[in-house]
Structure 1
Amino acid sequence: MTPGERPRTLRRIAPALGLFLLSPLVAEYLLGNVPSSEIWGLVILAPMYGGGAIIIREVARRAGRGWPTIILLGCAYGVLEAALIDQTLFNPAPLFEGDVSRDSTLIPALGFSAVNAVGFTAGHAIWSIGVPIALAEILVPRRATTPWLGVPGLIVTCVVFVLGSLVLFGGIHDDSGFMASPPQRAGAAAVVALLVVAAFLVGRRSRPVRGGRSRKPWLVGVAAFVASAAFVARPEDWWGTAAGIALIAVMAVVISRWSRGDGWGAAHRLALAGGALLTQACIGFLLLLLHGTATAANLIGQVILVLGALALFLVARRTVRGTSGAGGTAEVG
C-alpha cells in the first residue's frame, strides 16, 4: 500500500473504527456498569461489542435491509452474549451486592430470570447495537446505508469478534467457575438462530410511505427517552417483566407507524438515539453507586463520558442540519 492509499483507506474504514469503540463506550461505560477507571478494558470489550455491532451493520446493509433487521440481529447478539459468552443470564450469582432480580422472576425449569432475559436482550439490542449504529451512520450521511468494509475487512472483523468473545468467555469462566448446562447452551443457540432467521424474514417487502407528516423530531426524542427510562426503571418482578415486554411492543408499533410518515429521516433517527442515550447517561451515576464504584475519580470520569456523549450528539445534530434533504424518505425495511 502506497502512502497516498493509506489516508484513503483510513477514511473509508473510519466509520467502522468509530463504531468499534462507540459500542462498548455506550453499552458499558456510559451505563456505569464498567467505571471509567477501567477504561483499559476497552481492549477486551471492543472486539466483542464493537466487532458485533460492525458485523450486524455490515451484514444488514449488504443485504439491503434496514432497522427491523438490525434490531432483531441486535436481539440475537444480546442472547449470544448474555447466555453463551458471559453466561450472566444463567449464572446464579447476583449481578451486584444486594441484587435480587434473578430470584424474583426465576424460571426454575430453564434456570434463568425472566426479567433479566428481557432486560439483557432488549438492552443489548438498543444500547450495544442500535444507538451506536444510528449515531455512526448519521455522522456519515452519504454512506449511511452502504457497506463500510470490503470482504477482507469483514472477515477480519469476524475473526476479531470471535477471538474477543473467546477471551472474555475464558476470563469470566476462570473467575467464576460457572458454566451453563449443555441444554441451556443448546436452547440459547437455538434462540439466536431463530432471531437471525426472523431478522431476514421481516421487511422483505418495502412498505409504502403513508399519508401525513411525521412527528416532530423533538417529540420523537421525548418519546424515546420516556419509554427507555420507563424500561430501565420498571420493577424487577413479573409485573415489571410484563411491562417491559409491553413497552417494547408498543414502541415497535409506534416507531413503525411514525417512520412511514412523510418526511421521516435522519433527524428522527437521531432523536430516537438521543432519547435512549440520555437514559443511559442518567442511570450511569446510579449504577456506580449500586456497584460501590462511585469514587471521586469515577464520578469525574462519568461526567466526562456524559459530556462526550453530549458533544457527539451535537456534532450529529449539526451534521443532520447541514445535510440537504435531511428529512429523507422512510427507512423501514
Structure 2
Amino acid sequence: MFRAARRRRLLLALALFLLAPLVGEFLLGNQPITELSGLVMLAPLYGGGALLVRETARRTGRGWPTMIVLAVAYALIEEGPVDQMLWNPHYGGFDMGAAYASTHIPLLGTSVEMIEDVVSMHTIWSICVPIALVEAFARDPRRPWLGRVGLPFVGVLFAAASVLLGVAQAQSEHFVASPHQFAVAGTTIAGLIVVGFLLRGCPAPGSDADAPSPWTVGAAAFAVTSLYWLRDQLPEGLSTWWPVAAWLVVVGGAVALCVRWSRSRGWGAPHRLALAGGALLTYVWVGFTHAKEMGVSIPVALTGNVVFGTAAVLLLLAAAVRHTPRATPPEHHKAHALHRHHH
C-alpha cells in the first residue's frame, strides 16, 4: 500500500511537470504541435517551477495564498533574469520597446503593462491552473508529492534549465540587461518569496453566506480571464494607461471576490477546480487566435489547437467527474434507517 501511494504521488508530480508547459506554451498557441520535442527544455523550467511552488507551499503547511505569491515570483524569474523579455526591446525579433513604450518606467527598467502581462500569464496559466488541475486528482491535495530526494532534484533541474536557457537567450538575442534592472528584479523576487512564506494557509470560513455554485465560479473565472485577452480589441487612440489601470481594478476585485467566496460556507475543492477550469477554457479559445503567429502552416497550427484544446477539455471533465457528488445507493439508506431504528 505504501509503494502504491508513493507511486501515485510521483505520477501526480510527473503530471504537473508536463502539464505546466503544455498549458503555458502549447495550449496558448505560443508553440506549435510540431515542437513538442521542446518539452525537454520547457518542462524543467515550467514544470520544475510549478512543482517547486506547489511543494514549497504544501511542505510548510501553507496553501493557495502562498502558491499565488510564489507564482508571481516565478513569473518575474522566467521573464526577467532567465529570458530577459522584461527588458529586451527587440525580444524575439519584435519591437517590444515600441509596443510597451507608453508605460515604461525608468526606475523599474521596464514597462508596467509588460509586468502586468507577464504576471497574468505565468501566475494564472503557467503555475496555478496546472497545480489546481493536477491536485483535483489527489486524494489529499495538501500532502506533498516529492520526498527528500525528489524536491532537491527538481530544484537543481529548475536552476540548471534557468541558467542554460538564460545563457542561450543572451547569446541568441545579443542582449544583457543592466545591473540596475537585475537588481530591481532580484529585490522584488526576494520580497515576494518572503511575503509568500509570511502568509499562512487559506482563510477559515468566516461568513454565514453560502458559497456560489461551482458553475457560477467557473463562469466568472472564464469571463474575467477572457476579458483580459480581449483588451486588444479596445479602440485605437485610447491611452495605454486606461487598460493598465483597468487591470489593477479587475485583479483587485477578483482577488477580493475570491477571498470572500473562500470564506463562505460550503467552499471547497469543486470551487477551486471551477476557478482553474474557467481560466483553462479561456486559453482554449485564445490558442486559436494565435494560429497565424506560430510559424507553421495554418492547417498544422489549427490541428495543434484542436488537439491541445480537446485534451484540455477532457482533462477538465475528468477532474470534474471526480468531484461530482455521487447519489447514495437506496440500500445504504435502508441500512442506515434500520441501524437508527435498532438504536
2:53–2:70 CA contact under 8 A, matched in 1: yes
In structure 2, which of residues 223, 231, 235 is the aligned counterpart of residue 226 of structure 1? 223
Deviates most, 142-151 or 6-15: 6-15
Asked if 1:239 is matched to 2:245, the reply is: no
Indicate the residue corresponding to 2:25 in structure 1. Answer: 28
In structure 2, which of residues 285, 288, 299 is the aligned counterpart of residue 296 of structure 1? 299
Q: AA paired with 1:133?
A: I
Indicate the SS of the match to 1:234.
helix
CA deviation string 1:223-260 (max 9, x = no partner)? 10111111222259211111112111110000000111
How far is the alpha carbon of 1:7 from its aligned partner?
6.2
In structure 2, which of residues 283, 287, 291 is the aligned counterpart of residue 284 of structure 1? 287
How far is the alpha carbon of 1:36 from its aligned partner?
1.4
Indicate the SS of the match to 2:323.
helix
How far apart, in 1, do the equivalents of 2:292 and 2:64 lie?
Answer: 34
Indicate the residue corresponding to 1:55 in structure 2. Answer: 52
How far is the alpha carbon of 1:104 from its aligned partner?
3.1
Indicate the residue corresponding to 1:253 in structure 2. Answer: 256
Q: Please provide the CA RMSD for this pair.
A: 2.2
TM, length-normalised to structure 1: 0.90
Q: AA paired with 2:120?
A: A
Indicate the SS of the match to 2:90.
coil
How far apart, in 2, do the equivalents of 1:239 and 1:13 lie?
Answer: 45
Asked if 1:136 is matched to 2:139, the reply is: no
Indicate the residue corresponding to 1:114 in structure 2. Answer: 112
**Same amino acid, percent of matched pairs:** 42
How far apart, in 2, do the equivalents of 1:5 and 1:264 lie?
Answer: 31
In structure 1, which of residues 84, 89, 92 is the aligned counterpart of residue 86 of structure 2? 89
How far is the alpha carbon of 1:323 from its aligned partner?
7.6
Change (3 A) 1:7 1:189: same
How far apart, in 1, do the equivalents of 2:195 and 2:54 lie?
Answer: 16
How far is the alpha carbon of 1:294 from its aligned partner?
5.0
Indicate the residue corresponding to 1:329 in structure 2. Answer: none
How many aligned positions are there? 321
Q: AA paired with 2:18?
A: L
CA deviation string 1:16-65 (max 9, x = no partner)? 00000000000111000111111111000000100010011001011111
Q: AA paired with 2:59?
A: R
How far apart, in 2, do the equivalents of 1:5 and 1:203 lie?
Answer: 29
How far apart, in 2, do the equivalents of 1:96 and 1:299 lie?
Answer: 24
2:58–2:143 CA contact under 8 A, matched in 1: yes
How far is the alpha carbon of 1:314 from its aligned partner?
0.6
1:234–1:243 CA contact under 8 A, matched in 2: no
CA deviation string 1:116-139 (max 9, x = no partner)? 111101221111110000000001
How far apart, in 1, do the equivalents of 2:167 and 2:91 lie?
Answer: 20
How far apart, in 2, do the equivalents of 1:185 and 1:98 lie?
Answer: 21
TM, length-normalised to structure 2: 0.88
How far is the alpha carbon of 1:95 from its aligned partner?
5.4
Indicate the SS of the match to 2:8.
helix
Indicate the residue corresponding to 1:320 in structure 2. Answer: 323
Change (3 A) 1:96 1:261: farther
1:281–1:306 CA contact under 8 A, matched in 2: yes
CA deviation string 1:70-103 (max 9, x = no partner)? 0000000001111111110101015565765322
Larger Rg: 2
How far apart, in 2, do the equivalents of 1:101 and 1:14 lie?
Answer: 42
1:256-275 aligned within 5 A: 256-275=259-278
Q: AA paired with 2:125?
A: W
1:62-73 aligned within 5 A: 62-73=59-70
Unaligned runs of 5+ residues in structure 2 are 235-239, 329-343
Change (3 A) 1:214 1:268: same
1:214–1:261 CA contact under 8 A, matched in 2: yes
Change (3 A) 1:294 1:268: farther
2:92–2:173 CA contact under 8 A, matched in 1: no
2:65–2:200 CA contact under 8 A, matched in 1: yes
How far is the alpha carbon of 1:10 from its aligned partner?
3.1
How far apart, in 2, do the equivalents of 1:29 and 1:254 lie?
Answer: 30
